[in-house]
Amino acid sequence: MKESGARPRVRAPVLIAAVIVAAAAAAWLATREPPPAERRADAARLMNELMSGKVPVGGPFVLSDPDGRRVALADFRGKLFLLYFGYATCPDVCPTDLGIIAQALRDLGDAGGEVQPVFVTLDPERDTPAVLREYVAAFHPRLVALTGTEGEIRRVATDYKVFFEKVPMPGTKTYLIDHTAYTFLLDREGRFVSLFPPGTPPPRMATLLREQLAAGPR
């Protein structure tokens, strides 16, 4: 006769299955896409940090160019640095802002050689090396395209307070990317100086670049 207080015996296969299910659930919770409210909060936090002037913006990074070479921010030391985050199938703001960067560099004439423009893709899945190579060449011959793993790009974007997320297109299998669209200006040592809002007129950008070039190293 069994004691009334005895615990039921759990078979090993059942226990193992429960552990597997629990582990899978934990993994899903850790990797799932954050809900919209959480994503909006993340975007607001990054924007507040960027605009507050109270937290560091930017930092060193290493990504890959379309030829697979690893490229570091430090490789461009000695030049001013214009950094833009976007993606090649961006329908409007990216080509507009990259066109502005290219025109500002042309407006600088020979002094434009002292400014290095760099485009970091936020869409490594679709922006293959061939796509990136052709895309940046359409804007300026010295515009460098950089890519990396999703984790690498996320870390660099977060350092520069850039928010981005995929936005599925209804009724299709494709997506757009909602993202912060600022052009970051770094000094000759790779330190954050300022930013240009989307749509900054090329003459305005060129004027500020001339001032920064005239100021010399800090």
Please say if the pLDDT value at position 144 is more than 90. Answer: yes
Nearest to 114 by CA among 76, 159, 145: 76
Confidence category of residue 48, pLDDT binned at 50, 70, 90: low
Pairing state between β 175-179 and 192-196: unpaired
pLDDT single digits (tens) 67-114 = 999 999 999 999 999 999 999 999 999 999 999 999 999 999 999 999
- pTM (predicted TM-score): 0.78
Confidence category of residue 176, pLDDT binned at 50, 70, 90: very high
- In this structure, the chain runs to a length of 218
Please say if the pLDDT value at position 42 is more than 70. Answer: no
DSSP E strand boundaries for the chain: 62-64, 70-72, 80-86, 115-121, 144-146, 164-168, 175-179, 183-186, 192-196
What are 196's strand-pairing partners?
183
